[in-house]
Structure 1
């Protein structure tokens, strides 16, 4: 079959016929297929993108990752920093026409605090949530929580999306399947074709803020009638579709095709933001050998960041070495404690594995080729682990299966795993409050992998509760040094995952994730 025939078949399968009427349609190939519709239930990037299309949050991060009011019109905090009062903007309405009230907010925040690591920190400080009237509510604290607005605007992990009360009151352990938000787009359920297409339409009743769009903050002005996410698995087919104009945006360009796409007239390849993505190798700390921090530390002596980054992202201009858990180039960046393993040392790794009691047992390494850079990084990491004497069973699944397996605490030989490779946005990882991998709480509520270290968690909590920025930076430095030893995950480096668009597409915002308001087609 010719490339053109393959492209046409993919587009027809995705249902790409134009809707009736002269609509402006933005067609996007996202990095993964949408499987879970609830952005509070999972911390998966594609679900977060979906959540930002149809839901809103009380605050939102701007391009500098500073929180700005979104659904909130006004707020105040008492002199003792224990009572925060908020008033919602008028005319907020859900897609079914019902007004957004503080009952919806209260139910949504309670559910989020049960599901998210950032939310759980707010919950720990919370004495009570008071509904004052339909538009005003208060959060009364047991102790100060200076990162309040930052947390309520979180764009990482499970986002604090405001849902209808009846949806938010459902079983917090089960993803919500309704899709009624109050955001700038409506989810078109009857045109959703799992594995092929996701469709959103402009919400005509949405009233954006008056401020200019800035990151996720400001006015979410929709300038197209319809957004279609098209799932085309073959990267070469996506590149051809972008060149011919069948699609407008490729959210994550396959690394080996970046040079090809960059040379095409009428196409633009660019970075979405300045913080990029942090690559990570996440071991399961519930089971041997990685329940022993010495085995996790061995990974730091095995894996060469340059090898994994080059495999995943190609040309050096798209990646850099970085041993800072809180992202190189940011306020909390430090590489303290990482000097011993700046370069691989397999002899030291083998010694650490022996001390941890590893004797060549099979280790299940789950990965995917659905997101090419993840699969390639996994292959390189697995090869290094084998050279160090580790018995690696590299298991390839579709991305949906990988993210379903990640939260499972079953033994590796019963559907669980020992390790996986992934990445997280720099906007997620640069801050100790939101860095999902450095929570080492011993209560089992932290992110998949569940590492436990009381000292690291003490330092992280001290950072969160610090009274000023200078104090936060001191705790961040101490936390980095501790993490360098106990290794909640092996840092694989820092990269930009470039996106591509047709030159006629304008208004893509610098933001933690790609959003589709403010974009127009000339």
Structure 2
């Protein structure tokens, strides 16, 4: 449903024009079983992609689950598990029919009742899911293959919501799993997707293992983005956890692993001259660095203190320290991604440029009393491990006191869900990044969800923001959507929820005997072949 400008859609589609990978070997030349070993950006410790929005868990989700709809490489919504759908003339009833032959990994058939339970659990956690469920008066499964939405009002984002590519993705799960409380983590990774998670071989801190789902029924269309035929072409994929990026690169060069998901710019020269390795950027639209506020506790319970941070922080310093090469980053004084239809600098022209004097003035006006800012600092994610260390001196220069607390990313992911006081194991700020498609509009952006207890970690509570997000979701005119988005951008200056810290892309490297890469907003591993 989203109409992206040509240059933004082209950025995603242009991924197909990157350095060509090796052609697949003839069937007679391939040996079985085949194992692909990959080094990703983080260790996998949480396997519930609804409970957390962490990218590593979303990647896991795409391995084992499927979705009702999906977006292709032009961000157009396509059916995935759905065979056909109908919309009533008054646009209040959507009837979705599942494809034939869908099975869970345990051999049981996928039913509409499973999908209804999955949608409801996702809809309780995800920003777009909450908006969809708020306009849904009835969601039922009239029979085993039919899902029926009855809406309170026309809602043009329904299909996109069910196919959204960014966290939290509406993955379908068996009813027995999807019935888990949305605020509790699932422990059963049974899905219907192209790979099966080998929980018995999962060793957090060492590896996660997936094997080909022999009963998976891919769509007949070619794979495109997250849509089309997800054909698993290797028998086994091992996610090998290697914390040090230099060691990852050395292992790739030595043939010990086959793919490195995110290569820091300073290590690219080692790979670009190596004939046995191919380097490319699969997600041309990139990602947006972000600092998230916790509004529940001092000092960021005060909106003016949060605004002071918007003035104190300097995007370029974050990008230089964490990306390094300007070829792979962009300073962007827009709440929504630069290059997207909603890009605007309105109200933000003087923000994010390290104005310590203005920040000090705002802190004085707000009556900041020196309460330390508990800053969670992830130390093990390539391209993200210098975010907190850049922010600390910038905030201190403006007059903040900062308590920097180092930890690995998965520990941070667990801790950010805690509402405890910072002095009792809670937090004030943490850093992450979102895919450009995750923050493409006010309805999709999780950090703009200001629905209090229903909001994601940070828990902003602002009725005006929610009115604007509702208005955006109900509007179909692109020009009016842009007007509403600018109002959202201005509202964030009155009630800051987070700080956008610039855009970047992450090169991926594979050995030249690996082919079939599918280019998508996050890593997709179906279609990969290894000679």
Coarse TM-score class (shorter-chain normalised)? over 0.9
- 2:19 alignment partner in structure 1: none
1:465 aligns with 474
Cross-structure match for 2:483: 474
1:70-219 matches, within 5 Å, as 70-219=80-229
Indicate which of 499, 502, 519 corresponds to 2:528. Answer: 519
3-state SS in 2 of match to 1:105: helix
| Contact 2:279–2:508 (8 Å) recurs in 1 | yes
Q: Specify the SS of the correspondent of 1:40.
A: coil
> SS at 2:208's partner residue?
strand
Partners of 1:277 and 1:118 in 2: how far apart? Answer: 19
Partner Cα separation in structure 1 for residue 276 and residue 439 of structure 2: 34
Structure 1 residue 483: Cα displacement = 2.1
- 1:337–1:485 CA contact under 8 A, matched in 2: no
Q: Say whether 1:493 aligns with 2:492.
A: no
The corresponding residue for 1:277 is: 287
**For the structure 1 residues 377 and 255, does the alpha-carbon distance in structure 2 shift closer, same or farther, using more than 3 Å as the test?**
farther
Query: How many Å apart are 1:83 and its aligned residue?
Result: 0.3
Q: Which runs of 4+ in 1 moved over 3 A?
A: none
SS of 1:375 mapped into structure 2: coil
Secondary structure at 1:340 match in 2: coil
Moved more, 354-363 or 76-85: 354-363
- By how many angstroms is 1:130 displaced? 2.4
Query: 2:4: which partner in 1?
Result: none
2:233 is matched with which residue? 223
C-alpha separation between the residues in 2 aligned to 1:393 and 1:349? 19
1:401 positional shift: 1.1
Structure 1 unaligned blocks of 5 or more: 1-20
Determine the structure 2 residue equivalent to 1:235: 245
The equivalent of 1:31 in structure 2 is 41
Residue 131 of structure 1 and its aligned partner are, at CA, apart by: 1.7
Q: How many corresponding residue pairs?
A: 501
Cross-structure match for 1:308: 318
Measured in 2, the distance between the counterparts of 1:300 and 1:189 equals 43
Conserved in 2, the CA contact under 8 Å of 1:278 and 1:492? yes
DSSP-derived class of the 2:446 partner: coil
2:125–2:456 contact (8 Å) kept in structure 1: no
User: 1 CA distance for matches of 2:205 and 2:449?
Assistant: 33
1:61 paired with 2:71, answer yes
Query: Are the counterparts in 2 of residues 291 and 451 from structure 1 also a CA contact under 8 Å?
Result: no
Query: 1:154 Cα shift?
Result: 1.9
1:330 paired with 2:335, answer: no
- Structure 1 equivalent of residue 28 of structure 2: none
In structure 1, the residue corresponding to 2:316 is in which secondary structure?
helix
> For the Cα contact (< 8 Å) 1:367–1:374, is it kept in 2?
no
| Structure 2 unaligned residues grouped into runs of 5+ | 1-30
TM-score, with length taken from structure 2: 0.92
Residues 325 and 430, structure 1, Cα contact 8 Å, conserved in 2: no
Is the Cα contact below 8 Å between 1:72 and 1:89 reproduced in 2? yes
Quote the offset at 1:268 in angstroms: 2.1
TM-score using structure 1 length: 0.93
Specify which of 421, 424, 427 is matched with residue 434 of structure 2: 424
8 A Cα contact 2:127 2:445, kept in partner: no
CA distance in 2, matches of 1:426, 1:434: 11
The Cα of 1:52 is off from its aligned counterpart by 0.9
RMSD: 1.5
Given candidates 452, 455, 469, the residue that maps to 1:446 is: 455
Is 1:256 aligned to 2:266, yes or no? yes
CA distance in 1, matches of 2:275, 2:180: 50
**Distance apart, 1:115 and its partner CA:** 2.1
